[in-house]
Amino acid sequence: MKARVDSSSLLRRLRSLNVVVFHPEDQDGQEVIGQLHRIGCRVQAFWPPLDKLPADVDVVFLAVRPEVLSIDLPWLHRESTPPVIAVVTYENPVLVEAVLALDAYGVIASPVKSFGLLTTMVVAINQAQRGREREKMLVRAET
C-alpha cells in the first residue's frame, strides 16, 4: 500500500526551501529564478556549476548543456545530494543519457514557463523523501 502524501505540509514547506540554480543568465535562467522567488523559496544562482554545493540546499536546478556534460560534479551521487531537476533546451540521446546520469528527479523543458515548475519541484522533493525513507527501512531490515 502506498503511503499517503501530506501535500498541504509539503506545499507549505516550499516557502522555506533553499534552492540552488545552476543556469546561465539568460531568459530561461531568469524565468526559473523568478518563479522560485514567487513561490517563496530562497534562491542562490551560479554559472557554471560549482564543485561544492552551498550548505543546506534542498533542491538543485541544473541546466543540462553540452559544456556541462564534461564537468565532474563531486556533490552528485552522494547520499546527501538533494534532488536535482534538469533544465534542458532540446532532446537528443546524449542529453537524455546525461539527465539519467544525473539521477534527475524531474525535467523542465526550455523555453521555461511558470507552468509545471511547481509540480515538478513538489514531485521531486516527495520522491527524494520517499527514497530516503526506503533506504532507512532497508538499513533497518538488514541489521
Q: Residue 133: is it exposed, middle or buried by C-beta count within 10 angstroms (0-12/13-18/19+)?
A: exposed
Confidence of residue 6 (pLDDT cuts 50, 70, 90): low
pLDDT of residue 12: 79
Q: Rounded distance, CA 84 to CA 45, Å?
A: 14
pTM of the model: 0.89
Task: Please write the tens of the pLDDT for every residue from 77-124.
Answer: 888 899 999 999 988 998 999 999 999 999 999 999 988 999 999 999
Q: Rounded distance, CA 13 to CA 38, Å?
A: 14
Q: What single-letter amino acid sits at 70?
A: S
Q: Where do the domains of the chain lie?
A: 7-142
The hierarchical CATH code for the domain 7-142 is 3.40.50.2300
Task: Please write the tens of the pLDDT for every residue from 40-77.
Answer: 999 999 999 999 999 999 999 999 998 888 888 999 98
